Amino acid sequence: MPILLYRIDDRLIHGQVVIGWGRPLGIEFIVLVDSEVSASEWEQELYRMAVPQAVEVVFADVEQARTSLTDWQADPRRGMLLTGTVDSMAAIRGNGGPTIPKINLGGVHHRPGRRQRLPYVYLTDEEYRALIALKEDGIEITAQDVPTTRAVALSELA
């Protein structure tokens, strides 16, 4: 079973991820790609608490994600990969990295320099261009916070 959802969400693991997507997709493991969290025990402890016991959380930084993604994709369990930023997702794929079929923009929130594209998606122009580059690389990109709302195409976020 491949990784079923590649999601960019700056809240990392939270309700929309665990219940909104995790339940209906039957997710059995979550790969959380964040270099700071992957180096911090107490933060990992907090994020682990957000998921039910049956779900495994794997913490990785971008480099580890680049080398291990094909293994996770070959895992018999149903998985989800999460990054907190557009840059981390782009870095996993960038310069001959492993293949990513689809990206879900789930929540990128307000910060100085970012412009609102959807109520839950704020992007700087550079972030938007990085997403366009990923799209031109053959990756399907849509914004959708929970499964019951419409998936919004990247072109609508211009």
Partner 1 sequence: MPLAYGRASHGKPIGGGVVSGRGKAFARLFAVQAAWNYERMLGIGMGYAAEPLLAGLEATDSERHAEAAGRSAEFFNCHPYLAGLALGASVAAEYAGESEDRIRRLKTALCGTLGALGDHLFWAGLLPAMMGLALIVAVVWSPWWGVGLFLVGYNGCRVAVAWWGLRTGLDTGMRVGQAIASSWVPRVRRWVGLAAGFLVGVAIPLAGRFLLGGLGRSQILIGVGVAVLGLALAYRFRATFGGVRYGLLAVALVLLWFGVLP
Partner 2 sequence: MESSVLMGIGLLWVWATIAGLDLVSVPQSMVARPFIVAVVAGAILGDLLAGARIGIVLELFALDALPIGAARYPDYGAATMGAVLVAAGQPPVAGLGVGAATGLVLAALGGWTMPVLRRANARAIRDRLEMLRTGHAATIRSLQYAGLARDGIRSGLLSLIAIGAGLLIRHLPPLEGDAAAALTVAVVGAGLASVLSGALRTAGRSRRCRWLTAGLLTGSLLAVAL
- Give dist(CA 38, CA 61) in Å, integer: 6
With beta carbons less than 8 A apart as the criterion, state whether 133 and 126 touch.
Answer: no
The partner in contact with residue 54, picked from partner 1, partner 2, none with C-beta cut-offs of 5 to 8 angstroms by kind, is partner 2
Where does 75-152 have alpha helices with state H? 86-93, 125-136
**Among candidate residues 61, 49, 57, the one with its CA nearest the CA of residue 29:** 57
Q: Is 23 in the site for partner 2 (CB under 8 A)?
A: yes
Q: Is 81 in the site for partner 1 (CB under 8 A)?
A: no
Extract the runs of DSSP E, i.e. beta strands, from the chain. Answer: 3-9, 29-33, 56-60, 79-83, 102-107, 115-118, 121-123, 140-143, 152-153
- Give dist(CA 115, CA 113) in Å, integer: 7
Q: Measured from the CB of residue 136, what is the shortest distance to partner 1 in angstroms?
A: 25
Q: Which is nearer to partner 1, 3 or 93 (CB)?
A: 3
Q: Is 22 in the site for partner 2 (CB under 8 A)?
A: yes
Span 71-130, contacts to partner 2 by CB under 8 A: 107, 110, 119-120
| Stretch binding partner 2 (CB under 8 A), from 34-42, 62-70, 90-98, 139-147 | 139-147
| Stretch binding partner 2 (CB under 8 A), from 8-16, 32-40, 60-68, 80-88 | 8-16
- Give dist(CA 94, CA 115) in Å, integer: 24
Residues found near partner 1 in the complex (CB under 8 A): 11-19, 24, 36-37, 40, 42-43, 45-47, 49-53, 109-110, 116, 119-120, 144, 147-151
